[in-house]
Structure 1
Amino acid sequence: MKKLTLISTALLATTVLVSACGNGEEAAPTDKGTSGEKVKLTIWHNWSGQDAKAVAMRKILDDFQAQNKDITLEIEGLPTDGLKTRLKTVAAANEMPDLFVMWPDAMTKEFVSGNLLQPINEFLDSKPEWKNNFIPGALEGYTVDDKIYSVPMNLSPTSFIYYNKALLDQYHVAVPKTWDELMAAVKTFNDNKIIPIALGNKANWAAQSTIFSGLADRMTGSDWFLKAAKQDGVKFTDPEFIQALKKLQELSSAKAFQDGFNSIDQNQMRQLFYQGKAAMFIDGGWAMADVVQNAPKDLLANTHIALMPSIAGGKGDPQSTSGVVGTGLGVSKKLTGAKKEAAQKLFYALSGPDGQQATLNSSTLVSYKIELDPSKANPLFVELNDLMKTTKITPVYDAKLSSAAVEVINNGLQELLMGGSAEAIAKKIQDSQAASLGK
């Protein structure tokens, strides 16, 4: 994926086509669809939690149902890891729901290859003021052979350190900007019976997406990873990748994470932070919606964010975070006629200008040009938004590797954190990715 180096300026773009939301075909949905037929739509999503983003998206679904009596929605909400597993299962049987939350790059390409999706070019082109208001590069992860299959409903940088400044100040710990400073902070908090970094890796993608993708880029640089993903002259058994694995293992060996980190999820992880038991946790930008909604007010006032620290000798840019443009909606290849029209209507309600604004209002970054009003946003979200103005996004591993290799690296990192061999795990990743590409 092309680096989204222009994200910083686009996040606070000054041109917003607000007028499009209130004129002609952009008006709020009416009770009757274009055809007037009564239709039933199935939609699967991952807005099942109590974070602000999930609440906002479910409200859009409720409002859409109330405003469109001729369209009945059958809605199924699943946690992210559960949704990914379920989608892969129904994809194998060619039994996709009508609309479903999906991910850019690897998942999109695999579903297109399986002839499961239909492109949205014609629908998108019919609303140029919508299509042209996405940030540069936003549609690339959903484009295959010049056909566009979705648009991002958010922006997903995956790796930030959320820290409790009150705890850092209490134990005279500076916000770590280098690896050595991070390791020193880990020791200080352990000495004082505070969990240095809360981790919830029960859903085994978490360590890969939120920690390792950013950490590995610090070591190898993005160009190396993109070549390794394509098996283009470099391999995951190369020394720089093995060193990245060992850096992650170094954190675990130093007891940076609490006991049992592979048996709790991200919500439980954040609870350790909310309860003041952990000084830090590492998570994506999506965690912001949960933090501002559910963290105790006194702790929220002391919570700040930082990037992964630099690593001496590493080839990556320290002013970066791993990530992708956000999730999109897939449209089943089977939809035609009135059902397709209804699906497009719901698609636009969730990912059109109003949906993008609702997402931004839920303290969630978007891949869309909307100006953030700092006076109406939580200060921590303003801090994140400002940080992204000077931060570029580098590839996240599970967006670029094959599904088989993603499963291998996710399981491998769990093994690594429990003391497994970095070299052996690197070989498994290399063999899996090479086999997926027939190399």
Structure 2
Amino acid sequence: MKKRMALVVIAALLISVLAACGGTNDKGTAGEGEKPAGGEKVKLSLWHNFTGDDLRAQTMRSIIEQYQKDHPNVTLDIQAIPPDGYKTRLKTVAAAGEMPDVFILSNGSMTQEFSAAGLIQPVNELIDSHQDWKDGFMPNSFDAFTVDGKIYSAPMGLSPTSILYYNKSILEQNGLTVPKTWDELMNAISVLKGKGITPIALGNKAAWLAQSSIFSSLADRVTGTEWFLKAVKQDGASFTDPEFVQALTYMQDLGKAGAFQDGFNAIDNTQMEQMFAQGKAAMMIDGGWALSNLASNANAEALEQMGATVLPTIPGGKGEPNTLSGVVGVGMGLGKDATGTKKDAAFELIYAMSGPDAQKRTLESNQLVSYKVELDKSKVSPIFSEVYELVNNVKLTPVYDGKLTSAGGEAVNNGLQELLMGGKPEDIAKKIQDAQSKALGQ
């Protein structure tokens, strides 16, 4: 799930005020003559995936705790679910027609499918009631959460997904430079592999990582963005087309060359990030979300050795070279059953977690955002500052699972696991094509 976005910060969402009662001003406090969402006892369910030890997760949990202190009349029923299992849990309750009142909502296909099923409510009322907050977002920030003119969330971050992180010392000690072309990358893999060094750390246990962080950008290098968007709509392009099979072949070539460590499907992205931070791999292809985890768990010396760039160019590729795949981050969704005073309290919670103050705190927790906040570099790690500058100087291209249907995205995730274990690119391409076509009723 991006467009050309400069400056970046995180946490965005919503707090609302109903025109006649229960309103709040842009600072999240009750205005003169207005009745806050206090008084009546309210029970509100909240689902989130801020369960880790990274700075962003700590920041968001702190915001939730402060909300509880500020709203003694609101009882929060909190379900904190680890990221890898979050979507599955949410889709399970959604299939039963049940939804939490406030929850982490992914943009793109999840927003479209939940809105079509009547499981979520638009939050235009909340966003429009805080004009300064609304105007603070970068252009097009709401697009991926918008269906038929209705906005279902506001982004809480910005997630470039395909950053090539590298260890400066390991490359220099082995006579290598940062790879800018495919041939340079393959040469680096060969040299590092020959010296017993893992070239690229990979943690694909949950299957989404290879798709989101490597393949979305690699495939765009080969096919170009226009082809992909046509294939998504099944309008003039098919995932069985030669260029897509070629993209799968490039991905498989990485596996055949020994780019990744043994057991890459047995560890998750957090373990992968720790592996890279500890100097056990020369490179890592990961998203902007890694920055908060690295800032929390890597020592100062390790952070100084990290650099970041875009993926190498592909010979004869149709895609633009100076790009990163990326999406606006998740937002807080409003469940279908949150009405009356419960809705008022939900809006205040959403705003607390994604309003201007939350956006600033998110940025300072080493998480990029799509909100206009000036970065104080003294409060973030050196690698965060480098990625911040990188993102402001490249174009963002689509992430596969941000555009595909849920079935199509799952087919890509599973297909890439199969591909890296030796599966045939043509067979995997057909599975992806069949899944996307069927999901669109074609």
Task: Please give the range of the TM-score, normalised by the shorter of the 2 chains.
Answer: over 0.9
User: Are 1:117 and 2:120 counterparts?
Assistant: yes
State the 1:105 CA deviation: 1.0
Task: Write the distance in 2 (CA, Å) between the matches of 1:280 and 1:412.
Answer: 24
1:295 Cα deviation from its structure 2 partner: 1.0
Q: 2:8 aligns with which of 11, 27, 31?
A: 11
- What letter is aligned with 1:150? S
Distance 1:79 1:251 in 2: 29
The residue that corresponds to 2:193 in the other structure is 190
In the alignment, the residues of structure 2 paired with residue 169 and residue 304 of structure 1 have an alpha-carbon distance, to the nearest angstrom, of 12
Distance in 2, matches of 1:324 and 1:415, equals: 26
**1:154 aligned onto 2:151:** no
Deviation at 1:400, TM superposition (A): 0.8
Query: Could you say what secondary structure the match of 1:174 adopts?
Result: coil
Q: Say which of 157, 165, 176 aligns to 2:179.
A: 176
Alpha carbons 1:29, 1:67 under 8 Å: kept: no
Q: Partner of 1:301 in structure 2?
A: 304
> Which of 307, 311, 314 is the equivalent residue of 1:311?
314
Distance (whole Å) between structure 1 residues aligned to residue 383 and residue 407 of structure 2: 37
Offset, 1:406:
1.2
Equivalent position of 1:257 in the other structure: 260
Correspondence 1:26 to 2:26 = yes
SS at 2:265 equivalent = helix
Moved more, 292-301 or 409-418: 292-301
Native 8 Å contact 1:29 1:64 kept in 2? no
Measure, in 2, the Cα distance between the counterparts of 1:174 and 1:239.
32
Letter in 2 for 1:284: G
- Tell me the equivalent position of 2:272: 269
Alpha-carbon distance in 2 for matches of 1:378, 1:81: 26
Amino acid corresponding to residue 3 of structure 2 in structure 1? L
**Structural mapping, 1:78-227, within 5 Å:** 78-227=81-230
Aligned to 2:42: 39
Aligned to 1:285: 288
CA distance in 2, matches of 1:437, 1:276: 45
1:67 aligns with 2:64: no
C-alpha deviation, 1:276, in angstroms: 1.7
| TM-superposition CA deviations, 1:53-91 (whole Å, max 9, x none) | 111101101111111111111212222221110111011
In the TM superposition, residue 297 of structure 1 has moved relative to its aligned partner by 2.2
TM-superposed CA distance for 1:141, in Å, is 0.4
Measure, in 1, the Cα distance between the counterparts of 2:152 and 2:68. Answer: 24
- TM-superposed CA distance for 1:35, in Å, is 5.2
8 Å contact kept, 2:28–2:348: no
- 1:242 maps to which residue? 245
CA distance in 1, matches of 2:203, 2:29: 41
**Please, what TM-score do these two structures have when normalized by structure 1?**
0.94
Q: Distance in 2 between matches of 1:194 and 1:34?
A: 58
SS state at 1:420 partner:
coil
Equivalent-residue separation in structure 2 for 1:278 and 1:396 (angstroms): 25
1:348 is paired with a residue of what secondary structure? helix
* Residue ranges of structure 1 left out of the alignment (5+ in a row): 13-23
Q: Identity of counterpart residues, as a percentage?
A: 55
Q: Is the 8 A contact 2:307 2:383 kept in 1?
A: yes
Give TM-score, length-normalised by structure 2.
Answer: 0.94
Give 1:271 shift: 2.1
| Cα distance between partner residues in 2 of 1:328 and 1:375 | 27
How many residue pairs align between the two structures? 424
Aligned match for 1:382, one of 382, 385, 398: 385
> Which string of whole-angstrom CA distances, capped at 9 and with x for unpartnered residues, describes residues 205-252 of structure 1?
110001000100000111100000000011000011000000000000
Letter in 1 for 2:8: L
Q: Cα offset for 1:403?
A: 0.8
Conservation of the 8 A alpha-carbon contact between 1:179 and 1:310:
yes
**Unmatched 5+ stretches in structure 2:** 10-23
Aligned: 1:336 with 2:339: yes
Corresponding residue for 1:229? 232
The answer as to whether partners of 1:363 and 1:378 remain within 8 angstroms in 2 is yes
Contact map agreement 1:124 1:130 (CA 8 A) in 2: yes
Cα deviation, 1:88-139, whole Å, max 9, x if unaligned, reads: 1011001111111011111100000110010111121111111111100100
The aligned counterpart of 1:19 is: none
SS at match of 2:53: coil
Q: Distance in 1 between matches of 2:37 and 2:416?
A: 50
Q: Deviations over 1:270-300 (max 9, x none)?
A: 2221222111111000101011111122211
Distance 2:57 2:101 in 1: 20
AA aligned to 1:97 is P
Q: For residue 48 of structure 1, what is the aligned residue in structure 2?
A: 51
Aligned-partner Cα distance in 2 for 1:176–1:78: 37
Cα separation, 1, equivalents of 2:345 and 2:77: 13
The residue number in structure 1 matching 2:21 is none
Query: What is the identity, as a one-letter code, of the residue corresponding to 2:391?
Result: M
Q: Amino acid of the residue matched to residue 25 of structure 1?
A: N
* Secondary structure, aligned partner of 1:100: strand
Name the counterpart of 1:21.
none
Kept in 1, the 8 Å contact 2:25–2:130? The answer is no
Task: Name the amino acid aligned to 2:27.
Answer: A
Aligned position for 2:396 = 393
Asked if 1 retains the 8 angstrom alpha-carbon contact of 2:101 and 2:346, the reply is yes
Q: Which aligned runs of 4 or more in structure 1 are off by greater than 4 angstroms? A: none
